Amino acid sequence: MRGMGKKNDTKELTALKEGVAVIAKALRNLPATPGVYRMMSDSGEVLYVGKAKSLKKRVDAYTKPDRQPVRIQRMIAQTRSMEFVHTHTEAEALLLESNLIKKLKPRYNVLLRDDKSFPYILLTGDHDFPQVLKHRGTKKRKGAYYGPFAGVGDVNRTIATLQRAFMLRNCSDSYFAQRTRPCLQYHIKRCTAPCVGHVTKDEYAGQVAQAKDFLDGKSKQIQERFAREMQKASAEEDYEKAAGYRDRIKALSAIQAHQDINVGGIRDADVMALAQDGGRSCIQIFFFRAGCNYGNRSYFPRHDTDDSPEHILSAFMAQFYENKPVPRTLIVSHVPEEKELIAEALESRAGYNVSIERPSRGARKRLLDFVLKNAKDALKRNLAEAQAEGECLEGVAALFGMDEAPERIEVYDNSHISGTNMVGAMIVAGPGGFRKNAYRKFNIKTAAASDDTGMMREVMERRFKKLLVDDTAPSPRRKPGPIGGKIQGTMDPGFRRDDGEGDFSDWPDLLLIDGGQGQYNAVKEVLEEFGIFDAVTLVSIAKGEDRNAGHERFFMEGKKPFQLPVGDPVLHYLQRLRDEAHRFAVGSHRARRKKEIAASPLDEIAGIGAARKKALLHHFGSGKAVTQAGLKDLEAVDGISKAMAQKIYDHFH
């Protein structure tokens, strides 16, 4: 054992010297200018992305590994090439660095794992009677956007308030144009029915103006105005009108009660607090816009256990605001590293001054303490969930005879209706829970209709075929053992651990199939054909004869089908995995079915864009009628030339 330790030490020292030599070679012609550098392994994997005011000075520090912590020494030892991008300023380098980190996900950088876009409220501006709706994504449509909101629930509550208090329509423009009488929204006093002329354009514009005032933080003034109108209607003995204003005041009061964490003097600000425990961190953010609380969200960035809160918060802010609007004020629990540089970079992106503050007293300090308490509570919950997840994985390993807890579990299910729109789905889980960025769906192409085993076979062939022919793909963690299927628990040098950002090229430790013996046999045959049956653990989970939860039967090699006790926590965990795969498969099937229903025969004709398609459908009433139209009829449509009419006619005839 001692000799083995010396051998490993010598190997590590050799690798470190090679890494230093690579860095020293790259340093020779490197200028002392701002820029971004990438350190890469021999397989081309990006290990680290960094920025520097002086590239030469920053990279030179890596040639002295004895002054670096163990983590950085490990990174240097794996470095076999470097790439550089020169920038005009250090602020530009910071922006480019955050962009590359989010794109490349280097293992040695602090990494923002969950970076979903935030929902907004949109008051449309391309219609005489604006619509209020929920919006997520690129702001292409003309109108006024309000947000961001922390979650969809916050948006839905606010939209419901806008409908109750200001009676704005939420129907689509096409639905609005087809109405000949008021819909249910009018009868339950959620809309004033502009579609049938119950209000004029100017009257509806007044409703919209009031809604904008509310979203701009002037809710108190609106409530006072409604109260005056209610008193006036009551004095005139118009009690129905007075009751309407009373209900609208209640709606505004309800949303204000929900937004109970408001601080005077804060208009547009993000309050973020960082809590640490057990080598993990939680960053809690509360969003304030127009003086109102728009909700909060927790983040758990990936980082090294030795990273300081200031460094983590600095890296987090640079990545978080890379694709999100920056408020004018950022209130933080720790002063981030290079505070002035971050502020400069955010200002260049936002186009106005951005203040980063760490209050020490007053109302803002009390608010920050409240956010910090939420961060600590969220971190405790996350650690408890991670511990429970780890115990479940250990239980799974013991149940299925695995040498160690699985790092990557892939669960498969199929969905279709009578063999139509057949979809296979793969979800991924591991120590960090569900890895939704690694989910995949398969549109079934070759399997026969309603052939579930054939569908599963096709999914498996497509899943592993590309992986096996890809020379850059990592090897499975467990090598096939002797004949008989025994799997040995040795770590392959080519394996790259999946830290929650896994992709399609990662090997699974456990395949969990939603199905019975037939599905199990189909998958087993594919794995045996590819020669990898002994490299992964294969299990199939099927509902019992009565199809009740808790009566599931498990199928695997070397064991008779078996069941677990109804209250077994491992059974509950496996049920949760199976149900998530089912949810994803059904959702993918519904999306494909909806797309097929909405498809038009006009989509297949080159040169028919949205405008021409709309003109044809308005003229003929349906896509089927267009397919049956004569040449002269097609030429009569506005925007359709003789040549285009001939093209359309020829396509269908």
What is the full DSSP assignment across 119-130? PEEEEESSSSS-
Structure confidence at residue 105 (pLDDT): 87
Instruction: Determine the 3-state secondary structure of 116 from DSSP.
Output: coil
Structure confidence at residue 490 (pLDDT): 33
Give the Cβ contact number of residue 623 at 10 Å. 15
Q: What is the pTM of this model?
A: 0.70
Structure confidence at residue 15 (pLDDT): 84
Structure confidence at residue 480 (pLDDT): 44
Q: Is residue 375 a contact partner of residue 284, using CB atoms and an 8 Å limit?
A: yes
Which CATH number among 3.30.70.100, 1.10.275.10, 3.30.420.10, 2.40.40.20 corresponds to the domain 269-382? Answer: 3.30.420.10
* Residue ranges of the chain with per-residue pLDDT less than 50: 1-4, 259-260, 471-472, 479-502
Backbone φ, ψ for residue 292 (5° rounding): -110, 150
Structure confidence at residue 494 (pLDDT): 33
Structure confidence at residue 481 (pLDDT): 39
For the chain, give every domain's residue range: 2-104, 124-258, 269-382, 400-595, 601-652
HEC secondary structure over 51-113:
EECCHHHHHHHHHCHHHCCHHHHHHHHHCCEEEEEECCCHHHHHHHHHHHHHHHCCCCCCECC
DSSP 47: E
d(CA 131, CA 124): 5
CATH 1.10.150.20, domain 601-652, yes or no: yes
Q: Is residue 464 a contact partner of residue 530, using CB atoms and an 8 Å limit?
A: yes
**For residue 289, what are its two tokens?**
């816009």
Give the Cβ contact number of residue 554 at 10 Å. 20
Buried b (16+ CB within 10 A) or exposed e, 332-349: bbbebebbebbbbbbbeb
d(CA 193, CA 180): 10
269-382 and 400-595, same CATH topology: yes
Structure confidence at residue 414 (pLDDT): 87
The fold of the 2-104 domain, in CATH, is GIY-YIG endonuclease (3.40.1440)
Structure confidence at residue 69 (pLDDT): 84
Distances (CA, A) of 270 to 39, 134, 158: 33, 21, 19
Residue 397 carries which side chain, given as an amino acid letter?
A
For the domain spanning 400-595, the CATH number is 3.30.420.340
Distances (CA, A) of 600 to 188, 431, 610, 625: 36, 45, 12, 11
- HSE at residue 193, side-chain half, CA atoms within 13 A, is 14
Buried b (16+ CB within 10 A) or exposed e, 582-614: bebbeebbeebbeeeeeebebeebeebeeebbe
Note the helical H segments in 333-361.
Answer: 339-350
Peptide bond into 148 cis (omega under 30): yes
Residues pairing with 275 in the sheet: 282
d(CA 33, CA 58): 10
Backbone φ, ψ for residue 281 (5° rounding): -130, 150
Residue 336 contacts by C-beta under 8 Å, 6 or more apart in sequence? 310, 313, 314, 317, 342, 356
Instruction: Tell the residue number behind the tokens 């992964």, with chain if given.
Output: 536
d(CA 378, CA 61): 37
Q: Is residue 247 a contact partner of residue 160, using CB atoms and an 8 Å limit?
A: no
